[in-house]
Amino acid sequence: MRLTNEEQDFLDGKHGTILQKTMETLIRYGDMYDAECLVPLDGPVHLVCSFGMPALKPLSRIMKEMIDAGIRTKLPFTADPQPLDYENVTANQQEQEMYQLLYGTQKEYESMLEKLGLKDEKAYTCACYFDEVGNTPKFGDQLAWAESSAVVYANSVLGARSNRTSGVMEFFSGIIGKTPKFGFLTDEGRKADWIIELKTSSLPRPQILGSAIGIKVVEKVPYIKGLDQFLGTELTPAVKDYLKDMGAATASNGAVALYHAENLTPEAKKDGEGLIRENAPVYIIDDAELERVVNSYPILWADLNAKPERAFVGCPHASFHQLTEWTEIFEQALKEAGSDKVSVDTVITSAPDVIAKFKETEHYDRLIKTGVKVSHICPLMYMSNPLCAKKSIITNSNKLRTYSTARYVDDETLVNLVVKGGF
Amino acid sequence: MEQFQGRAVIPGQVKGKAMVSKAGFNVLSSYMGALVSNGKQTLCTDQNNPDLFQKDLSGAILCIPQVIGSTTAGMLIQTVAAMGIQPKAMLFSATAESLAISGVLLADIWENTKIVTVDGLGDRFLESVRDGQLVEVAEDGSVTLL
């Protein structure tokens, strides 16, 4: 890799051993992909590790050394959601004891993040790109983000440029302020390897469409034809929500970091089919294919007919628009059922900044009146507690389904279940 | 004996039984048990991967197409290396994704632990190698099925 004099100084240890190793890591990482150089970041990094897990000793050790050396990231960064919120996501004593084992160093870890340059105490969300949060890249910005759902959104919907940067590696990029130029930071790396032809009778559920695409193309770039016939050609708040949830499913069910949607996402609008590589294979998705995909999901509950104990909506975090929309959906469903409150503990998760804004609206009080709670946690971190993993949890999130024992149900089924209390 | 040539990402010599997954290796789901138990439990906890589920990943020679899933992957590979329960080798049929590369580099540079890693072995490698088959990895990235 071609290095500047300043970068060479870091590599030679002129700024201390810890920064020498940090630079060495980034350079060897780039060399693996024949990166020609390091490029300056145009925006803050986003960290995937937001949890103080005692097992994660290597990261804590490195961060502690950085703090002792007075090192911070070049720009204030955001991080994934915090794991716990007992006020809105209750846990019994045994579960709390297990969480203590799991996230026993949470306070110390958060304190380290603050010292290393965390944006503020509300900077914990997987959807850092929401306007309310403010880590919103512009078209063409070069980034080094982790969090698969955020990376695929930044690349696809905003037209920014980030690889699926690993935990620790994104932090190192934030410290140096640079990242190796390869993969999704290059024009060539952003070309589509697959053509997806959408031939469904109606707009597919984003969580299922994303899942089908992710399973098929894995880490490749799909060019999706036909979404615009249902979604139009403008990135309205509702369309962005759809693409957010679809993208998260492509990234978790496969490893998609970038998709293009014809006539809709910025690069597809700009370059059209010129983005597609020669001889790209075609994957046709119709109603039968989506049904096949849904039917392939294993249900990991011990009792398939158990009453749901909790429902999670908002993985990735719900937007302001989605919080408003869900309020009206739950209200309407309760009204039709002649009920006042949901019968299943239901939690919508969202970004702290979005929740703060939502709390200023009348919709917040209306939502709380339905019995639904709003929390800033990551439901996946909730499910990582082995005691909670045994519970009958439902979700409309394909990402949560993929990484946990939560059972996927579509939006309508979820609403029906939490209103009526069971299958 | 069949031989395959790949790129030696972390060069090294390893001989042992292959642990094969036809599906992508989901690092977070696979090592969740190890994280929760602070390294005491080393069985694969990815219930969506029937090839690996409940197999002991410690010291395994993983033969996989790719790493999939959460971007915590690299950090977790480094963490299991620090715990001493890392795989002995990771052999990829495809070009290793940035998460896997990050993990084995972090393990090497920061934990002084070499996870022998070879990528780009080709689809035929995964079609040929059988679970439990003896494999030998050489410094130059060649993999022999014995």
Domain boundaries, chain B: 2-145
Q: According to the model, what pLDDT value does residue B72 have?
A: 94
- Written as six digits, the tokens of B10 are 């972390």
| CB nearest A25 (choices: B28, B39, B105) | B105
Give the other-Cβ count within 10 Å of A93's Cβ: 7
CA A390 to chain centre: 24
Rounded to the nearest 5 degrees, what angle is found at the Cα of A414, between the Cα atoms of A413 and A415? 90
Structural tokens at position B102: 């990050």
Question: pLDDT below 50 — which residues of chain A?
Answer: none
Residue A327 Cα to chain centre, angstroms: 22
Instruction: Answer yes or no: do A166 and B73 touch at CB < 8 A.
Output: yes
Q: Where are the beta strands (DSSP E) in A168-281?
A: 178-180, 194-198, 222-225, 260-261
Q: What is the pLDDT of residue B31?
A: 94
Tokens of A25: 């890591």
The partner residue sitting opposite A403, judged by closest CB among B38, B70, B71, is B70
Domains in chain A with CATH codes: 5-185 (3.30.499), 191-295 (no CATH), 310-420 (3.30.499.10)
Q: Do A163 and B98 touch (CB under 8 A)?
A: yes
The whole-number pLDDT of residue A285 equals: 98
Residue numbers in A near B28 (CB within 8 A): 403
DSSP string, B13-53: -EEEEEEE-SS-EEHHHHHHHHHHTTTS--B---TT-TTTT
Q: What is the pLDDT of residue A139?
A: 98
Report the distance separating Cα B113 and Cα B122, nearest Å: 26
Residues of chain B with pLDDT under 50: none
**Distances, alpha carbon A66 to alpha carbons A49, A69, A122, B74, B112, in Å:** 16, 5, 23, 19, 19
pLDDT in tens, A157-204: 999 999 999 999 999 999 999 999 999 999 999 999 999 999 999 999
Model pLDDT for residues B119-139, shown as the tens digit of each residue: 999 999 999 999 999 999 999
């306007």: which residue's tokens? Answer: A131
What local confidence, expressed as pLDDT, does residue B69 receive?
81
* β-strand pairing of B134-137 with B14-20: antiparallel
3-state helix, strand, coil in chain B (%, to 5): 30, 30, 45
Contact B13, B141 (CB under 8 A): no
B132 to A10, A327, B61, B136: CA distances (angstroms):
45, 53, 10, 12
Nearest CA in chain B to A162: B98
With CB atoms and an 8 Å threshold, state whether A166 touches B103: yes
Q: Of A227, A241, A159, which is closest to residue A198 (Cα–Cα)? A: A227
- B2-145 sits in which CATH class? alpha beta
Decide: B30 and B45 in contact? Cβ < 8 Å: yes
Q: Which of residues 332-391 of A touch B (CB under 8 A)?
A: 384, 386
Instruction: Give the chain A residue nearest B75 (alpha carbons).
Output: A167
Residue A197 structure tokens: 């032809």
Q: What is the pLDDT of residue B70?
A: 87
How far is the C-alpha of B5 from the C-alpha of B12, rounded, in Å?
14
Which residue is it, tokens 């209390």?
A421
Under a CB-based contact definition with an 8 Å cutoff, are residues B85 and B58 in contact? yes
Distance between start and end Cα atoms, chain A: 58
B26-37 pLDDT, tens digit per residue, is 999 899 899 988
Tokens 């010292």, residue located: A115
CA dist list (Å): A416 to A187, A366, A392, A401: 46, 19, 16, 19
What pLDDT shows up at residue B47? 81
Burial class of residue A366, CB neighbours in 10 A (0-12, 13-18, 19+): middle
Prediction pTM value: 0.95
Pairing of strands A38-40, A178-180: antiparallel
Residue B48: the pLDDT is 82
Nearest C-alpha of chain B: how many angstroms from A270? 28
**pLDDT, position A423:** 79
Q: What is the pLDDT of residue A55?
A: 92
Residues in B touching A255 (Cβ below 8 Å): 24, 66-69, 97, 99
- Paired tokens of B91: 């052999």
User: What distance separates the 2 farthest-apart alpha carbons in chain A?
Assistant: 71
